[in-house]
Amino acid sequence: MRNPDRACIVIDSSPLRYLYTGLGQFSYHLLKELGKLQFNDARLLALVHPRFAKRIPAGINVEHLTWLRRHAPPFLQSRLYPPCRVWHMTTENTRLTGIPHSARMILTIHGLHFLDESPAAEAARELSHVQRLVNRSEIITVVSKFTEGLVHSKLKTGHRRIEVIPNGIAQTAVEARQPAWAPPRKFLFTIGTFFARKNFLSLLPMMERLPEFDLVIAGDTNHDYGREVRAAVEAAHLEARVFIPGEVTEAEKQWLYETGEAYVFPSVSEGFGIPVMESFHHGKPVFCSRHGSLPEVGGPHAFFWDSFDPDHMASLVQVRLGDENRQRMEARKLYAKQFTWAGVAERYQNIYRSLL
């Protein structure tokens, strides 16, 4: 039974349906850590599709995101949600726009990837949608300084408070498990949903120049780009050296981080790039592009490709892996320790309290 004497904070947890994306990981780990904190003056309410309610961590109340709540017109949506004082819109991709008028809103922006991926007319519509969310919000949070710059240049933020809160990394207790499909030789790897902006295709010509390595590309392939990458692997006759297992378990992901020689990330549009920091947590070298937030997140600890020329990419990998040492590995681990979900949750707790 709801306690009307305590202020309600609603957290839009709809990204949990995409648990293994950056948005899903943000929602899950933020809720998990918020559930450990004391909210004596408020109660937390996670809004989630009934099918994914089991993903809400302990300590958080659940409110089902029913069909009617998802599809009702905005003017009606605001009457279908519980009364609340604070509403945290956890992604700029949300389609929930009719939040209660009494709620003070926080909007988290992870990136404006549609600017790179969509035709001009569609991108303009998406940008207008995000602008409406900005207009409704009082505080905007972003996951990197790069994203903050993008917000300032593409959106009208007025005098709204903007805070940069970098993502954390999960301190998993899951024991690594070697998968049945594990490469038989030393390998490079990458992980992510198969969106075109991940630019996985650029890795294949590089691999032709690195015959001593195999490659693992893990993640949800149920997209047009996933089918395109699989077809390109077959066309290049790399099936014996390039492994595309689809989504992997946490135990298998741990094994990839612990066993792989290096993480490779040629993405052309990233708001943060959680796998980069997870690789650093394991002390592993990271090779990535200079696009989006990656120079900021990788800092002095990543190796950057200046182009996607396969000779250049392969040469950098060979030279830097041949120059590896324990000092660099320990420096990466130390750097990654700064990025915790517990710290992220504490900063959001302070924001919630400032609006109550």
Return d(Cα 189, Cα 161) in angstroms, integer: 39
Domain membership flag for residue 200: yes
CA 306, 311, 317, 318 torsion: positive or negative?
Answer: negative
Confidence of residue 4 (pLDDT cuts 50, 70, 90): very low
Nearest in space to 36 (alpha carbons), one of 354, 349, 355: 349
pLDDT at 320: 97
Mean pLDDT, the chain, integer: 92
Tell me the average pLDDT across 210-218: 98
Q: With cut-offs at 50, 70 and 90, classify the pLDDT of residue 226.
A: very high
User: pLDDT at position 237, please?
Assistant: 96
* For range 128-139, the mean pLDDT: 95
pLDDT given at position 57: 84
Q: Note whether residue 90 is domain-resident.
A: yes
- Residue 77 forms part of a structural domain: yes
Q: What percentage of the chain has pLDDT greater than the value 90?
A: 79
Q: How far apart are CA 131 and CA 107, in angstroms?
A: 11
Q: Domain range holding 229?
A: 187-336
Question: Do 277 and 129 belong together in one domain?
Answer: no
Are 101 and 208 within one domain? no
Tell me: do 42 and 87 sit in the same domain.
yes
Q: How many domains does the chain have?
A: 2
Tell me: do 239 and 295 sit in the same domain.
Answer: yes
Q: Is residue 231 part of a domain?
A: yes
What letter represents residue 193's amino acid? T
CB 189 within 8 Å of CB 179: no
Is residue 214 domain-shared with residue 277, that is, in the same domain? yes
Tens-place pLDDT, residues 88-131 = 999 998 877 778 888 999 999 999 999 988 899 999 999 999 99
Q: Are residues 350 and 322 in the same domain?
A: no
Q: How far apart are CA 101 and CA 96, in angstroms?
A: 13
Residue 29 pLDDT: 94
Q: Do residues 244 and 108 share a domain?
A: no
> What per-residue confidence (pLDDT) applies to 5?
46
Residues 146 and 13 in one domain: yes
pLDDT tens-place string over residues 164-193: 999 999 877 789 999 999 999 999 999 999
pLDDT of residue 213: 98
Q: Is the pLDDT of residue 314 over 80?
A: yes
Q: What whole-number distance in Å separates Cα of residue 297 and Cα of residue 277?
A: 8
pLDDT of residue 2: 45
At residue 6, the pLDDT reads 60
Does residue 149 share a domain with residue 210? Answer: no
- DSSP assignment of 25-74 equals HHHHHHHHHHTTS--TTEEEEEEE-GGGGGGSPTT-EEEE--HHHHHS-H
Same domain, 232 and 120: no
**For the residues 45-54, what does the mean pLDDT come to?**
91
Question: Does 1 map to a domain?
Answer: no
180: in domain:
no
State the pLDDT at residue 66.
83
pLDDT tens digits, residue range 233-292?
Answer: 999 999 999 999 999 999 999 999 999 999 999 999 999 999 999 999 999 999 999 999
- CATH number, residue 229: 3.40.50.2000
Q: Is residue 243 situated within a structural domain?
A: yes
Report if residue 173 sits inside a domain: no
- Could you tell me if 227 and 93 lie in one domain? no
Instruction: Express the helix, strand and coil content of the chain in percent, nearest 5 each.
Output: 45, 15, 40
Residues 316 and 225 in one domain: yes
Pick from 106-120, 146-160, 291-305: least confident: 106-120
